């Protein structure tokens, strides 16, 4: 056992003495040490209940002959961090989480790990740590929040609140009506109820094979979630006995499967950023252009909020992620290993779709292609990402003048002030991984546009990123970013931008000579943050096209 390095032999008597101080007896010391990596905290609703999940995990570990040790990581609530400087810390927290798990797991020589994430950056940060450490590991999330309900029974969620703010600004809703939505939209613990980034990543963890069936969709308040956690604690001991490690499960084939499931679900654009980062950490070469090939092959089968009125709980009742994978099994690599100990093909033998209104048949999809599209062109030589399934049909191809802003705050002020005209392409730059720094999510401007009824009249492009709750012609991750002298920094008000999502293009009607001439006249980028973690982050982070990982 790896843990023998910290507990075996005469020379380890001091170590055993310390272990006894935390309550271990000789039986505990002799058993495998399992790190239970919990992201519990009291400020994130997706994490407030994770002590209950951890207790169930530890019970499963003990019943299967292991000794669990619970460790905590940090976690940021993107909703609370949204729209102010705190959002700069959200994506950078992913790297901190991965590093902290590495530190505590190596320092204490854990034999195996059970990860308990739930929200946006915590899930990919832990997945990155799992492949980096490559010791037996399994994931069990805290589960999705239930949808809130208005007095008439109609479902609402966090995105409803953001969008309602735009309606209040436009004068279509009173502040009293907004308050009614605000107080019921988030009715309890769990990751926000739509197919936003947190739930997308928990679903894709299941698709990757690193979690048991149900991980992505069983509601946080459902007793089945606690049962799932206990099974995860038991399962880690089987993975340990068979020496099945994350790199046996997370391969090029399973990354491909995850992207295919993502396309069928129409998940968050952030999933591209995170899956690319996980592939990079695992040493898997997965070019961004391959995402479009997967999208072209994979139909969009489920329209979950923000694209429709369905929530994750509806997807769970319809059969969950295993039912989605069953429907697209002809497009998946079925021989990949899973933490269940079965191949994907074996695991799906009992899966079935229970509601065709929620998960459409592959013969009758919402769209014949996937819910995400990668765009390339002279504005995005290294790529950009759009949730194409959430774009109005009339905006799939668009040509309009640029209205350029150098920060999210300036753009938000202009939107709320009514200075955005129909047909314009809003450009928000210097919000990339390096320029932001931290590549802020911009749910505030996109939800204002949607709430004001303009998401079928204007487009928005940025080197920053969007919440999974964003809808409309919102194109993010434009790479290279402005701070790295990407072409987006050459744009001026009035330049004509062409968006052609069906043909995967994002261009400005300028010659290469004009773009290069403008770039040559620009001063060197001056970092916005000059101290602390964000300064160090900006100095090391790479392009969004590679997952915004640290340079190696």
* Residues taking part in catalysis: 467
Candidates 431, 504, 489; CA nearest to 85 is: 431
How far, in Å, CA of 334 to CA of 35, rounded? 30
Contact 182, 173 (CB under 8 A): no
Candidates 399, 543, 401; CA nearest to 477 is: 543
Contact 545, 440 (CB under 8 A): no
The token pair that represents 308 in the structure block: 């429709």
**For the chain, first and last CA: distance in Å?**
30
Residue 95's φ and ψ, nearest 5 degrees, are: -70, -40
Contact 311, 305 (CB under 8 A): yes
Candidates 494, 491, 488, 453; CA nearest to 471 is: 453
Contact 127, 205 (CB under 8 A): yes
Task: Determine the Cα angle at 92 with ends 91 and 98, to 5°.
Answer: 100
Which residue do the tokens 């391959």 mark?
A: 290
Sign of CA dihedral 133, 135, 138, 142: negative
Put residue 190 in one of left, alpha, beta given phi > 0 → left and psi -120 to 50 → alpha. Answer: left
Calculate Rg over the CA atoms of the chain. 23
Q: For the purposes of burial, counting CB atoms within 10 Å of the CB of 550, is it exposed (0-12), middle (13-18) or buried (19 or more)?
A: middle
Contact 288, 170 (CB under 8 A): no
What does the H/E/C string look like for 411-439?
Answer: HHHHHHCCCCCCCCEEEECCCCCCCCCCC
How far, in Å, CA of 76 to CA of 94, rounded? 9
> What is the DSSP-derived secondary structure letter of residue 525?
P
Q: Name the helix (H) or strand (E) containing 409.
A: helix 408-416
Candidates 443, 406, 457; CA nearest to 427 is: 406
Contact 481, 525 (CB under 8 A): no
Which residue do the tokens 């048991």 mark?
A: 212
Spell out where 273-410 has E strands.
373-377, 380-386, 397-405
Which residue do the tokens 């956690």 mark?
A: 229
Question: Rounded to the nearest 10 degrees, how much is the dihedral formed by the CA atoms of 203, 204, 206, 207?
Answer: 120
């Amino acid at each position: 056992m790896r843990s023998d390095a910290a507990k075996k032999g005469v020379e380890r008597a001091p170590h055993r003495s310390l272990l006894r101080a935390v309550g271990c007896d000789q039986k505990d010391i002799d058993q495998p040490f399992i790190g239970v990596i919990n992201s519990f905290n009291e400020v994130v609703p997706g994490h407030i209940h994770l002590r209950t999940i951890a207790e169930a995990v530890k019970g499963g570990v003990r019943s299967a002959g292991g000794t669990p040790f619970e460790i905590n990581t940090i976690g940021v609530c993107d909703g609370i961090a949204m729209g102010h400087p705190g959002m700069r810390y959200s994506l950078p927290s992913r790297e901190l989480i991965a590093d902290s798990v590495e530190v505590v797991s190596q320092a204490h020589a854990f034999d195996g790990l059970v990860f308990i994430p739930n929200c946006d950056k915590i899930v990919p940060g832990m997945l990155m740590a799992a492949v980096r450490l490559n010791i037996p590991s399994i994931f069990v999330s805290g589960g999705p929040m239930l949808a809130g309900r208005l007095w008439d029974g109609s479902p609402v969620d966090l995105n409803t609140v953001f969008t309602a703010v735009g309606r209040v600004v436009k004068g279509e809703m009173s502040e009293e009506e907004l308050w009614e939505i605000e107080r019921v939209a988030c009715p309890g613990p769990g990751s926000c109820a739509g197919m936003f980034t947190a739930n997308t990543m928990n679903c894709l963890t299941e698709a990757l094979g690193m979690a048991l069936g149900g991980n992505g969709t069983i509601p946080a308040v459902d007793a089945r979630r606690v049962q799932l956690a206990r099974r995860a604690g038991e399962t880690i001991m089987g993975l340990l006995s068979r020496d099945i490690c994350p790199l046996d499960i997370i391969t090029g084939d399973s990354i491909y499967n995850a992207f295919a499931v993502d396309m069928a679900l129409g998940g968050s654009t952030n999933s591209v950023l995170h899956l690319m980062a996980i592939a990079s950490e695992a040493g898997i070469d997965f070019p961004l252009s391959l995402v479009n090939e997967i999208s072209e092959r994979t139909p969009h089968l489920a329209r979950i909020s923000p694209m429709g009125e369905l929530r994750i709980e509806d997807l769970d009742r319809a059969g969950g992620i295993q039912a989605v994978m069953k429907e697209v099994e002809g497009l998946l690599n079925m021989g990949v290993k899973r933490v269940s100990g079965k191949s994907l093909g074996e695991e799906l033998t009992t899966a079935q779709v229970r509601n065709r209104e929620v998960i459409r048949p592959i013969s009758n999809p919402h769209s014949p292609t996937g819910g995400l599209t990668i765009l390339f062109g002279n504005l995005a030589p290294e790529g950009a990402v759009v949730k194409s399934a959430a774009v109005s049909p009339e905006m799939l191809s668009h040509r309009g003048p640029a209205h350029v802003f150098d920060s999210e705050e300036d753009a938000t002020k202009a939107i709320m002030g009514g200075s955005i005209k129909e047909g314009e392409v809003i450009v928000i730059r210097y919000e990339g991984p390096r320029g932001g720094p931290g590549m802020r999510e911009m749910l505030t401007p996109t939800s204002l546009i949607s709430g004001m009824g303009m998401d079928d009249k204007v487009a928005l492009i940025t080197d920053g990123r969007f919440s999974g709750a964003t809808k409309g012609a919102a194109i993010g991750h434009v790479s290279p970013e402005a701070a790295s002298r990407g072409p987006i920094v050459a744009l001026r008000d009035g330049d004509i931008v062409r968006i052609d999502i069906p043909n995967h293009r994002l261009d400005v009607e300028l010659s290469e000579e004009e773009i290069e001439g403008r770039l040559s006249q620009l001063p060197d980028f001056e970092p916005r943050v000059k101290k602390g973690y964000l300064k160090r982050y900006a100095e090391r982070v790479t392009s969004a096209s590679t997952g915004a990982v640290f340079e190696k």
